[in-house]
Amino acid sequence: RTIRVWLKRDSGQYWPSIYHTMSSPCSAMAYHHDSRRIFVGQDNGAIMEFHISEDFNKMNFVKTYPAHQNRVSAITFCLTSEWVISTGHDKCISWMCTRSGSMLGRHYFTSWASCLQYDYETRHAFVGDYSGQITLLKLEQNTCSVITTLKGHEGSITSLWWDPVQRLLFSGASDHSIIMWDIGGRKGRTLLLQGHHDKVQAICYIQLTRQLVSCSADGGIAVWNMDISREEAPQWLESDSCQKCEQPFFWNIKQMWDTKTLGLRQHHCRKCGQAVCGKCSTKRSSYPIMGFEFQVRVCDSCFESIKDEDRTSLATFHEGKHNISHMSMDISRGLMVTCGSDRIVKIWDMTPVVGCSLATGFSSR
């Protein structure tokens, strides 16, 4: 139930300069660096705004926003419009005026709203929910309109990242995968990335070096090279029989009767998307250019077409050694902060991995 501001002392140790206890457990936070305003969402649905002093040794309460009826899951603050936008477990997104503290608008979903990204220029909001959908909304002063719904994950959306420069949206989910959506090109899903063994809890795209950093619940940290031409994973094809040997699948009763054979279980080749039986897909292979950093099922003919150099990893993997539930990147200094369910906060020097620090100038990987 506490908010803490940690300052680095001359000794190199971090000590809390502010220790503030809240009335309800804290569930989300947004900090605006230039104005030193902090917005803290709570389990009871309220958002509290504070202003931090210039020396970071004092925190003054500003106001409370009755934003939700249940836990606040994500918050963002827009200084130009003076809006605080949030999502919650009451299945809605709300936007409130920070000048008056009044509610401007709400929009409800069919599932818990779990994460939020916002385009400050166009007033578009991206909301991920527990059903695995991402809804794109255009927010107006007192109303909003649904632009589109993105469907591609097989599990709840746990994290979102919006890059307004390339107009790309990245989503991480409990299905252990990351999807890149080309919003600007209106292409929908363009890339599927699979390199985690647990749900993806946090993502950050570094536009300068075209790298994506992702963290998962098992402590895995992946740095993806997005500066190369990748291939989009194919959509899975449907068929009543194996598209290689033409043996019927177990629901194809007519062909089973005609050929006097038992039906086979259906699988899919991750490289070509064809529906195949187990005998025609006995091989496994990684295929990083399509986002498959682990070995996945491929049909025998696709396996033969994959060269050894095609299996070269296009990501680096690191061990966070704690359950990473939140992550934040300071790209200007090449630093990353991770928070775990073990109540530990870790600060990482990412410059050897991401290959850039704006403070020292650009350095190639």
pLDDT of residue 188: 63
CA–CA gap between residue 73 and residue 218 (Å, rounded): 21
Do 224 and 259 lie in a common domain?
A: no
Is the pLDDT reported for residue 29 higher than 50?
yes
Q: Looking at the domain assignment, is residue 362 inside a domain? A: no
Question: pLDDT grade, residue 360 (50/70/90)?
Answer: very low
pLDDT of residue 184: 80
Do 284 and 171 lie in a common domain?
A: no
Q: Looking at the domain assignment, is residue 173 inside a domain? A: yes
Do 29 and 147 lie in a common domain?
A: yes
Question: pLDDT grade, residue 351 (50/70/90)?
Answer: confident
pLDDT of residue 234: 86
Is the pLDDT reported for residue 364 higher than 60?
no
Instruction: Give the predicted TM-score (pTM) of the model.
Output: 0.85
Q: Looking at the domain assignment, is residue 360 inside a domain? A: no
Q: Please state the domain count of the chain.
A: 2
Highest-confidence segment of 35-44, 287-296, 347-356: 35-44
Do 128 and 223 lie in a common domain?
A: yes
Do 188 and 321 lie in a common domain?
A: yes
Q: Looking at the domain assignment, is residue 365 inside a domain? A: no
Do 238 and 328 lie in a common domain?
A: no
Dump pLDDT digits (tens) for 314-338: 888 898 888 899 999 988 888 999 9
pLDDT of residue 211: 92
Q: What is the CATH number of the domain that holds 145?
A: 2.130.10.10
In SS3 terms, the chain reads as CEEEEEEECCCCCEEEEEEEECCCCEEEEEEECCCCEEEEEECCCCEEEEEECCCCCCEEEEEEECCCCCCEEEEEEECCCCEEEEEECCCEEEEEECCCCCEEEEEECCCCEEEEEEECCCCEEEEEECCCEEEEEEECCCCEEEEEEEECCCCCEEEEEEECCCCEEEEEECCCEEEEEECCCCCEEEEEEECCCCCEEEEEEECCCCEEEEEECCCEEEEEECCCCCCCCCCCCCCCECCCCCCEECCCHHHHHHHCCCCECCEECCCCCCEECCCCCCEEEEEHHHCEEEEEEECHHHHHHCCHHHHCCCEEEEECCCCEEEEEEECCCCEEEEEECCCCEEEEECHHHHCEECCCEECCC
CA–CA gap between residue 330 and residue 125 (Å, rounded): 23
> Which of these ranges, 69-83, 123-137, 258-272, 328-342, has the smallest mean pLDDT?
258-272
Dump pLDDT digits (tens) for 151-196: 989 999 999 999 999 899 999 999 999 999 988 876 666 788 988 9
Arithmetic mean of pLDDT over the chain: 89
CA–CA gap between residue 114 and residue 90 (Å, rounded): 10
Question: pLDDT grade, residue 264 (50/70/90)?
Answer: confident
pLDDT of residue 137: 94
Could you tell me which residue, 363 or 331, shows the higher pLDDT? 331
Range of the domain at 182: 2-229+314-354
Q: Looking at the domain assignment, is residue 361 inside a domain? A: no
Do 159 and 135 lie in a common domain?
A: yes
